[in-house]
Structure 1
Amino acid sequence: MRYIVFVIFLWSAVAFAQDPIASKKGLDPKGGKKPGKVLKEGEEEKPSVEEYKIFTIKRDTVFLDTTLTIQKEYKYNYLRKDGFELMPFSNIGKPSNALGVDLNNSSMYPSLGASALGGNYWEVEDIKYYNVPTPLTELMFKTTMEQGQLLDAMLTFNMSPELNVSLGYKGFRSLGKYNYNQSESGNFTVTTNYNSKNNRYQMLAHIAVQDVVFQENGGLIDGESQFESGDTEFSSRDRLDVAFINAESEILGKRYFLDHQYKLIKKAEDSTSSAIATSIEVGHQFNYETKFSKFNQDAESDYFGNSFLAETEDKAQLQTTYNQLNATFSNRLLGKLKGYLGIYNYNYFFKSLLITPTGNIDSQYKGTDISLGAEYSKRIGQFNLRGDAAYNLSGDLGGSLINAEATYIYKDKHKFVASLHNESKMPNFNFLLYQSNYENYNWQNTSNFDKQNINSLAFEYSSTAYGTLAAKYTNIDKYTYFGSTATQEQIDNDEENAYIKPFQESASVGYLKVKYSKEFKFGRWALDNTIMYQNVSQSNQVLNLPDLVTRNTLYYSKKVFKGAMFMQTGVTFKYFTAYNMNAYNPALGEFYTQNQQELGAYPMLDFFINAKVKQTRIYLKAEHFNSSFTGYDYYSAPNYPYRDFVVRFGLVWNFFS
C-alpha cells in the first residue's frame, strides 16, 4: 500500500510540474496585482502566491511559503516542527524527551495514553486543508539513520472554485545504529473542503489512518563501560549490549471527521446597516476515531518483573464518537458568539478480565459525557479579543475548560498577547485502567484518581527590533505522572522498570517558563538565539526539567551562481543544564519520573548547508559533529544515548501547474 501511494504521488509530481508560482513582488501593498508586463496573445497570467491558501480547523489561513529561512532549517525534521524543547532518541521517529512542557490542552477529554509513541500522531487540529488556483504537489525527502528513508508527499487540487481535495502520505523506515532499534510509521490523509457559491454552506472533512511501529530494546545495560568510556571496540553501535531484542510497540489510529455549517441569515459584505451586518448560522461536527496501543514480547523478561504467561500481547483500545450541534451569531458591532452542545461517547477496553486475590481489574471503561460550550471573538481597533469556555453537564471524564486571550498591536511594530487557561479533566485512560501480562502493570484508578486541574497565565511581546519574549506560569493540582516504587537495592540491580505505577501528586506544582528569541544581523551574517529559563516549585520531585536551555545559530546567507541559487550555511549550538531526566518505559510507551541520575550539560553542534533553487529547498547537515571529542555522556534518557555524528541530506520540492 505504501509503495503504491508513493508511485501515485511521484507520478502526480511529474505530471503537474510546470513553471513555478509568481512571487509576491507582483502584489501591491493591499494584496492586489500590480500592473505588470503586457501578456502576449495566448499567454496566461500566473497565480500569485497568496492564492495558494493553507488552513486548519481553526481557520487560521496562511499562504504557501517557498522561502528558505533559518526557521525552515529548525523545522526540517521528522515532525516538521521546531524541536527546541525536545531531546530526541538516537533513531528518528523514536520518542523524544521533554526539555520543556506545555501542559495546556485544547480538549476536555483524556487521550488513550502511550504518549511517548504519539509525537507524530496528527490530531484534528493538526490536519491541513487547502484552497489552490492550480494543482499543487509538495515532496519532502530526507535520509534516515540507517537503511531507510523519510518521504512526506502531498497533492492538492480544486475540482471547482468551491471544492478542494488533498491527498497526503508521510512514511519512513529507519534501522538505527543500535541493536534492535528499528522504527517505521505511516500517516495517510484525505481532506476536502467545500464552500457554496452563495457562501451559505461550508464544509471541512478528512480521513486519517496512522500507525507507528517501534522495535524496543530496553536501552543499554552496560553504558558506562561500553558507551561512556569511548572504547573503540564499541564504535560500531550494534555491538553494545541491550536489555532485550524481542519486543515491539505500536500505535494505530483511524479517524473520520466532518465539520459543516449553514448560514440561515447571510451578512451583506458591503452593508453599513447593523441589521444586515448580522449573520446567523447553524452547524454540526462529527468525529469518530478508533485507536489502540500495543506492546508485544515473544518471551518473558525480568526487565518488567514477573509475568503471567511466557508471551506478552498487551493491547489497549479506545473508541470515541463526538457530536456537536452549534449555532453562531455574528455582528459587526457585537462580535462573533458561538454556542454548542457536545456529546462524547467513549469505550476504552481490553479483551480480558484480570481476577486477583485483592480484587478484579475490569476489562472496560465506557460512558457518555455531555457538555455545553461557547466561543467569542471581537476586534476593537488594534485589540483582538478571543475566548472560549466549556462545562461538562454529565459524565465522569470532563470538568471544565476556559481560555481567554487579548492581543494588541501598536503601530504595526509591537505585538502584545496576554492569555489565561483553566482546565479540569481526568488523566489519560492508561492512568485510570490498565492490563498487562506483567503482574505489576495492572491497575484500576477510575474511582480513586481525581480530575487534574491546570491554571496558567501567559504573556508574550514580539517585535522585529527587540525579538520575542514569552513568559508563562502554570499551577497544577493533582498532577498525574508515572513513577517507580522500586527500592534503592532494586534500582541498583536494574529492576526499576518492574515497579512502574501511576501516581497523583497531592500538593500543588508551580511551573514558570520564560523564553526569549532574537536574531541579530550583520550584513550577510546572522546570529539567531533562543534561550529558555524554567523553574518548578514542588514539595516532591515529580516534574523534572532543566533550568536552562539555549540554542544559538551563526550562519551566512548569499545568492550565488549569478543569483540562480540562494544559500545559507552555518553552525547551530544547543545546550541544556543537567537535571533528573525522565526515563523511558517501553511496555507503557511512557516516560516516567526518576530522581536517581542527572543527565545533560553536554554541547550539541550541527553544521548545515542549505540552498534554494527556484521552488526547491536543499538541506545538508552534519549532525552532532562534536560527538567524538566532547565526551560520550550524551543521553536522551537513562540508558538511551543520543545520536552520534551523522551526515544527512534531503529536499523540499513544490510543483505547480
Structure 2
Amino acid sequence: MNKLVFVLLFILFCNGLNAQRKLGGFGEKKDIVNTQDTISRTSKKGSGIKSPKAKIEDYLIISFENDTTYVDTSLTIQKEYKFNYLRKDNFGLMPFSNLGQTYNSLTYNLENTSLIPGFGARARHFNYMEIEDINYYRVPTPLTELFFKTAFEQGQLADSFFTINTSPQFNFSIAYKGLRSLGKYQHILTSTGNFRFTSNYRTKNDRYNFRGHIVMQDLLNQENGGIQDDGIESFEEGEEEFLDRSILEVNFENAESILRGKRFHLEHNYKIIREKDSLSKNKLSIGHIISFEDKYFQYDQSTANTSFFGDAFKTSKLKDRATLENLYNQLKLNYSNNIIGDLQFNVSNNNYNYGYDKIVVLNGNTIKNRIKGDIFSAGGKYHKQYRGFDLQGELGINISGDFDGNFLKAQASFKLNEDIAATATLNHSSQAPNYNTLLYQSDYINYNWQNNFTNTETQQLAFNVKYKKLANITLDYSTINDYVYFKEDETSNQVKPFQNNNSITYLRVKFENEIKVGKFALNNTILYQNVQDDNNVLNVPEITTRNTLYFSSHLFKKALYLQTGVTLNYFTKYYMNDYSPLLAEFYVQNEREFGDFPRLDFFINAKIRQTRIYLKAEHFNSAFTGYNYYSAPNYPYRDFIVRFGVVWNFFL
C-alpha cells in the first residue's frame, strides 16, 4: 500500500514540477495586510479558473465546519510552533522521547459534542486523523506542498500533498505523511503512515454539491515499558556512561502495538430553494452524510512479562486485538430566512460493532466479546446575526439504543470594534465512557473486564476576549460528574478503569500575547489551571508556559526573510500520569511529582522564495539544568539534539 501511494504521488508531482512557484501552509486564517508574498500568475488553458490571473486568495481551504480560508504564504512564529510531527500547535502536550510516540496531556479541553462512546487506546490517537481533521480545497492551478523533517537516529518524517481542480466544479487532493524513527533508547522504533484522498464537486447552477474523503492510517510503535527502576538514578545523576541512552536497560524488548484504521466519508447536499440574490429571504436544502470506519488496536508480545503485567493465560505469542466497525448515517434539513436565521434539523443512526474474537471465562464469570447495536439520534443547529451579536447553537440526543447521551452547545460572539471581540460559550455533555473501559480482553489475566459505568456528565462555561495581538484571554470553568479514569488496582497492582464518585471542578485561564519592539518580539502563552478533586484523579500542572523571544528581518534586498530566537517551555511539578503500553492509555499515579524543568530551544528559520527552512537546537540546556526531565514516569524526555526541516510550497 505504501509503495503504491508513493508511486501515485511521484507521478502527480512530476506533472507539476515545471515552472512552479511559491505557496504557503494550509488551514490558517490570514490577514492580507501581513502577507509577505503575493501570487499573481496567468492560468493555463484547461485550468479550473477562467480568470486570467490567479491570486493567493483564490487558493481556498474548506474545513469540516465549512469555514473557508486561503493559503498562507508567510513565515511567522505560529508556523514555527506548528512545524512538528502533528503539524499543529502542540502547546499543552508533552512529547515522548521518540518522534511518532504518544504525548502526555498537560491540559484537557472538555468541550464535547459526541453521542457515542469513543474507541479507547487514546494515547495512540494524537496523530490519528479524525473527520474533523480533514480539509477540502478549491484552487485555480495545481497546488503542492512538500514537508520534511529529520527524526531520531535512522529515519525521517515526510508529508507530501497535491491538489488540483480538473474543472471549476471538481477538485481532488491526495496526501501521504510517513515517518520512521529508530529513537535513542532501546526498542522504541516508530513507523507511521497517514494516507488521505479528498474530493469535492458542485454543479454549475450550484444546486447540488458533494464532498468526501478516504483516509487510511497505520501507526506502529515498539513498546519498551520505559527504563527500568534500577536505571533511574543513573539517568538522573547524568552518569557519563549512560549518556549513550541505548545502554539504559528497558522493561521489555519484545512488544509492539499498532493502531490501524480506514474511513470512507461522504457528504452531499441538494438545494430545493436556493439563494438567487442578496435579497432572497428563503433557502431550503436537504443533506445526507454517510461515514464508515473500520479500525483496530493490537498489542503483540513474543513472551509474557508477568513481573510487569501479572499472570497470563499463555507464555508466548501474546496478542490483544480490539476492533471497531462503525457506520454512521445522517439526514438533515436546512432552512434559512432573513428574519429567523439558519436552522437545521437532523436525524442520525450509528451502527456499531466493538469487541474481540473470543469469549473469556474468568473466575466463573463470563466476559462477553462484543458490544454492538444501533443508536438513533436527533439534533439541530441554529445560527443568527442579530444587532452585532453572532449567535450559534447546537444540540443532540439519543432517542433509541443501548447508550444514552445528549449534548448542548450555545455560543454568542460580539465584535465591539476592529480591535476588540468577545465570545461566551455554554457546553453540556452526557456521554457513555469509551468502549475499552466497558469491555476489555487480554492474554494477561488481570486485563479482562466488563463494566456497567454510568455516563460522564460535563458542564462548561467559557469566555474569550481578544484585543488585537496584545491580549487573547480564554477562561473556562467545568464541572465533571462520574468521571472515568485508569489507575492501578490496589489488589492486583495492575491498571484498570474506575469511575469517580465525586464531582470535579476544573478552572483554566489562558493568556496569549505578543509584544513587538522594532524587529524583536516576545510571544507569550501562559496557562493557569486549578482542579478541585477529593480523589485526585484529574491531575494537571498549575502553571504551563511558553515564551519565545525572537528577531525577524528581511535580508539581502529582501531575497531572504530570517527569523531566529529562543523558546522556553516550562510547567510546574504535579502528579504526572503514567503510561500503560498494553492499553495505550495514560493512568493516574499519586506517588511522585514530575515537572519544574525548563526546556530551551534555539531556532533559525529562513524563507527563500518558495522554500521555508527550519533549523532547531532542541532542549540545548539538558546537560546543565539537571537530568530530571520526563514525559511520563520511567519515560525520559529528549536530550539535546539539532534537527533540520524544510517546507516547499509551489504551484503550476
Check whether the contact 1:223–1:639 (CA below 8 A) recurs between aligned residues.
Answer: no
Check whether the contact 1:401–1:423 (CA below 8 A) recurs between aligned residues.
Answer: yes
Q: Counterparts of 1:16 and 1:397 in 2: how far apart (Å)?
A: 50
Check whether the contact 1:135–1:157 (CA below 8 A) recurs between aligned residues.
Answer: yes
How many residue pairs get aligned? The number is 632
Check whether the contact 1:22–1:46 (CA below 8 A) recurs between aligned residues.
Answer: no
1:16 partner amino acid: G
Aligned to 2:121, which of 111, 114, 119?
114
Check whether the contact 1:269–1:277 (CA below 8 A) recurs between aligned residues.
Answer: no
Offset at 1:380? 2.1
2:490 maps to which residue?
486
Q: Counterparts of 2:284 and 2:436 in 1: how far apart (Å)?
A: 42
Offset at 1:10? 4.2
Q: Counterparts of 2:6 and 2:602 in 1: how far apart (Å)?
A: 31
The answer on 1:540 being equivalent to 2:535 is yes
2:455 maps to which residue?
451
2:570 maps to which residue?
575
SS in 2 for 1:104: coil
Q: Counterparts of 1:433 and 1:539 in 2: how far apart (Å)?
A: 27
The answer on 1:638 being equivalent to 2:633 is yes
The answer on 1:47 being equivalent to 2:48 is no
Aligned to 1:244, which of 245, 252, 264?
252
2:258 partner amino acid: E
Q: Counterparts of 1:216 and 1:509 in 2: how far apart (Å)?
A: 33
Q: Counterparts of 1:70 and 1:546 in 2: how far apart (Å)?
A: 25
Check whether the contact 1:265–1:281 (CA below 8 A) recurs between aligned residues.
Answer: yes
1:67 maps to which residue?
74
1:214 maps to which residue?
221
Check whether the contact 1:184–1:212 (CA below 8 A) recurs between aligned residues.
Answer: yes
Q: 1:383 to 1:140 in 2, by over 3 A?
A: same
The answer on 1:300 being equivalent to 2:301 is no
The answer on 1:231 being equivalent to 2:236 is no
Q: TM-score, normalised by structure 2?
A: 0.94
Aligned to 2:180, which of 163, 173, 179?
173
Aligned to 1:515, which of 504, 510, 519?
510
2:313 partner amino acid: F
Deviations 1:254-306 (A, max 9, x none): 111011110111122233xxxx4211001110011011010000101021000
Q: Counterparts of 1:258 and 1:196 in 2: how far apart (Å)?
A: 16
1:315 maps to which residue?
321
Offset at 1:209? 0.5
Deviations 1:283-332 (A, max 9, x none): 11001101101000010102100000113100000000111111000112
SS in 1 for 2:246: helix
1:620 partner amino acid: L
Aligned to 2:608, which of 610, 613, 622?
613
Q: Counterparts of 1:66 and 1:502 in 2: how far apart (Å)?
A: 46
1:493 maps to which residue?
none
2:411 maps to which residue?
405
Aligned to 1:284, which of 284, 288, 293?
288
The answer on 1:552 being equivalent to 2:547 is yes
Deviations 1:602-621 (A, max 9, x none): 00000000011122111000
Which range moves more in the overlay, 209-218 or 375-384?
Answer: 375-384
Check whether the contact 1:21–1:46 (CA below 8 A) recurs between aligned residues.
Answer: no
Offset at 1:83? 1.0
The answer on 1:592 being equivalent to 2:599 is no
2:425 maps to which residue?
419
2:28 maps to which residue?
none
The answer on 1:268 being equivalent to 2:276 is yes
Q: Counterparts of 1:12 and 1:504 in 2: how far apart (Å)?
A: 51
Q: Counterparts of 1:296 and 1:269 in 2: how far apart (Å)?
A: 61
The answer on 1:337 being equivalent to 2:338 is no
The answer on 1:359 being equivalent to 2:359 is no
Q: Counterparts of 1:536 and 1:573 in 2: how far apart (Å)?
A: 25
Check whether the contact 2:42–2:53 (CA below 8 A) recurs between aligned residues.
Answer: no
Alignment of 1:83-232 (within 5 A): 83-221=90-228, 222-232=230-240
Offset at 1:406? 0.8
Deviations 1:447-504 (A, max 9, x none): x3101101101000012153100000111110000001237xx8xxxxx4xx111000
Check whether the contact 1:569–1:609 (CA below 8 A) recurs between aligned residues.
Answer: yes
Offset at 1:99? 0.8
2:477 maps to which residue?
473
SS in 2 for 1:47: strand
Coordinate RMSD, CA, aligned: 2.0
1:562 maps to which residue?
557
Deviations 1:425-448 (A, max 9, x none): 100000000000001000001xx3
Check whether the contact 1:580–1:598 (CA below 8 A) recurs between aligned residues.
Answer: yes
Check whether the contact 2:426–2:462 (CA below 8 A) recurs between aligned residues.
Answer: yes
2:576 partner amino acid: M
Check whether the contact 2:23–2:73 (CA below 8 A) recurs between aligned residues.
Answer: no
Offset at 1:75? 0.5
1:389 maps to which residue?
395
1:305 partner amino acid: G
Q: TM-score, normalised by structure 1?
A: 0.93
Alignment of 1:499-510 (within 5 A): 499-510=494-505
Structure 1, unaligned runs of 5 or more: 491-495
- Of all paired residues, the percent bearing the same amino acid is 47
Deviations 1:46-105 (A, max 9, x none): 411110001122101110012100000001000011111000000011110011111222
Offset at 1:3? 4.0
Offset at 1:382? 2.6
SS in 1 for 2:303: coil
Check whether the contact 1:482–1:592 (CA below 8 A) recurs between aligned residues.
Answer: yes
Offset at 1:28? 9.6
The answer on 1:20 being equivalent to 2:28 is no
Check whether the contact 2:441–2:447 (CA below 8 A) recurs between aligned residues.
Answer: yes
Q: 1:22 to 1:550 in 2, by over 3 A?
A: closer
Deviation above 4 Å: which 4+ runs of structure 1? Answer: 36-39
Aligned to 1:464, which of 464, 468, 471?
468
Offset at 1:161? 0.3
Deviations 1:123-174 (A, max 9, x none): 1111010000001011111001110111111110001101100001111000
Q: Counterparts of 1:90 and 1:363 in 2: how far apart (Å)?
A: 35
Q: Counterparts of 2:339 and 2:587 in 1: how far apart (Å)?
A: 51
SS in 2 for 1:160: coil
SS in 1 for 2:21: coil
Offset at 1:396? 2.3
Q: Counterparts of 1:614 and 1:61 in 2: how far apart (Å)?
A: 26
